[in-house]
Amino acid sequence: MKCILMNKKIEVLIVEYDTATSVFTKIYEVKNINYAPYILKSFYIENDINDTFRTNLSEWFKGRGIPSWRDKLDLLLHRLNITAPYELLDKAFGLSLSDQYWLKPYDSDISYDDINFFDNDFDYAEFMEASFETNSKAITKEASLKTPNNTTDGMLKKAWIIENGTRYLLKSGYKNEILQPFNEVLASEICKRLGFNHVEYKLDTYKDIVVSKCPCFITKDTELITCNQIKKDMIRHDNVEDYEEYIKKLEKHNIENAREKIENMFILDFIIMNEDRHLNNFGIIRDVNTLEWLDVAPIFDNGQSLNIEYYDEEELHISGKGRFFYEVKPFDEIIKIVKNLKRIDISKLDDIVEWFDNLLHQYQYLTKMSDRRIEILCILLNRQINKLKDMILNNN
């Protein structure tokens, strides 16, 4: 199928797309490489469309789909009546709620304004049911496959919905674990108290499942560019220099207080012991019209936190390590990148442990989380806050 890769209303590439494999088999013409997905620019050589560029274009497009490691993916695919996630990509022109890229059939007069999911409603009920319910039936309406749910990443079951005109993302826990939604709300509360820019998460329920719920933080004039895309322009060091080079990159693009904003993210990760700050869950917001880097993306995706490997009457057993660019390091080491901990008013978290305890007990009738586990989680959170208090006190 001959089509045009679009960035909102701007033509980027004229390509041949194989719908059976979701692979781009040919690039006919480069129309405007500046408006291409950021990750592709490092593979582009002017006047030379090579196989490397075409291959990475295909990888980028496939990467927009639901990943192979999505929780209970086989069941979801069965309910959607498809065999692989990439089959969903061209059901809705490859549109997403994270950016403005889409595939326009060649010679078609369809317009971005008519199809984008920021302005146009979509049918999500059957997809949500297929994602979250234990005994869901197969999807019956073709409209249910024309949604931004086709382009959601991550391992957790999730679904985009619309409430009062706002696009919200619902996420459940992983397999039989039910803590992740609560961690998202805890992280949101901590950020709000400490003044960190963040995505606001709340708890909701779908049938008898507790889910986290957050609004879309991208608009039809912006896109999320993850650190994973930006790093293609950076030399890999496998040490703290990766972090420093990333900060310099942000400052070069005139992002205000870039270092402090990234520090805030790692401060949060220390408090809640977030083990999964991978390179796709932080980045920057770019204006798709002007290509200006606007700001660091608000802090989001904090569910893999407070993970207790096991506990007994004597001791908590935890990994105590998180991700720091290409490394896995102890949280006590990662926090050292913060230049001035004294700027944090840790007293604003004085009653956060009690707040979290109440939240966990409030939904205990659904989660069946034991009192002992709730107690252990609160002990761990309290311990991290007290460690940070000591570090602030001793920070010079």
Angle at alpha carbon of residue 92, lines to 90 and 96, rounded to 5° = 105
Residue 144 banded pLDDT, cuts 50, 70, 90? low
The DSSP code sequence of 24-49 is: EEEEEEES-GGGS-HHHHTT-BTTB-
- Please tell me whether residues 156 and 226 are part of one structural domain: no
Q: What SS3 string covers 189-245? A: HHHHHHCCCECCCEEEEECCEEEEEEECCCCCCEEEEEHHHHHHHCCCCCCHHHHHH
Residues 166 and 230 in one domain: no
**Domain assignment present for 214:** no
Pair 47, 133 in one domain: yes
Pair (120, 247) in one structural domain? no
197 within some domain = no
For the domain that residue 308 is a member of, what is the CATH number? 1.10.1070.20
In whole numbers, what is the pLDDT of the chain averaged over residues?
90
CA angle 194, 173, 71 (to 5 degrees): 130
Q: Is residue 314 part of a domain?
A: yes
The structure tokens 């129309």 sit at: 31
pLDDT tens digit sequence for 39-49:
998 787 776 67
Q: What's the one-letter identity of residue 349?
A: L
Dist. CA 332–CA 388, nearest whole Å = 9
In a domain, 209, yes or no: no
Longest CA–CA span in the chain (Å) reads 70
236 and 164 together in one domain: no
Residue 147 shares a structural domain with residue 290 = no
Does residue 361 form part of some domain?
Answer: yes
Same domain for 257 and 165, yes or no, is no
Angle between helices 352-362 and 180-194 (to 10 degrees): 150
Say whether both 161 and 241 belong to one domain: no
Domain boundary pick from 139, 156, 171: 171
> Domain for residue 159, yes or no?
yes
Same domain, yes or no: 376 and 249: yes
Q: Which segments of the chain does DSSP mark as H helices, in order?
A: 38-41, 51-62, 73-80, 112-115, 125-132, 180-194, 227-230, 240-252, 258-272, 331-334, 352-362, 364-367, 371-394
Question: What is the model's pLDDT at position 316?
Answer: 64
> Does residue 350 form part of some domain?
yes
Q: For residues 226 and 125, state if they share a domain.
A: no
**Domain end call among 129, 154, 171:** 171
Residues 240 and 382 in one domain: yes
Q: Is the pLDDT of residue 357 over 80?
A: yes
Please say which residue of 171, 193, 210 terminates a domain.
171
Give SS3 for 100: coil
Domain co-membership, 161 together with 64: yes
Tell me how far CA of residue 330 lies from CA of 179, 213, 270, 320, 333, in angstroms: 22, 30, 9, 6, 5
- Phi then psi dihedrals of residue 377, to 5 deg: -60, -40
Q: What is the DSSP letter of 299?
A: B
Q: What is the pLDDT of residues 159-187, one digit of tens each?
A: 999 999 999 999 998 777 799 999 999 99
For residue 337, pLDDT beyond 90: yes
What is the arithmetic mean of pLDDT over 348-371?
96
211 within some domain: no
User: How large is the average pLDDT for residues 370-385?
Assistant: 94
Residue 313, pLDDT score = 55
Q: What is the pTM of this model?
A: 0.93
Angle of helix 258-272 relative to helix 240-252, nearest 10 degrees? Answer: 140
Mean pLDDT of 12-33: 92
Q: Which domain holds residue 380?
A: 222-394
Instruction: Classify burial at 245, counting beta carbons within 10 Å of its beta carbon; exposed 0-12, middle 13-18, buried 19 or more.
Output: middle
Domain count, the chain: 2
CA separation for the pair 163, 350 (Å, rounded):
34
Which two structure tokens, joined as six digits, stand for 51? 């196989």
Contact 335, 269 (CB under 8 A): no
* Rounded average pLDDT over 269-279: 96
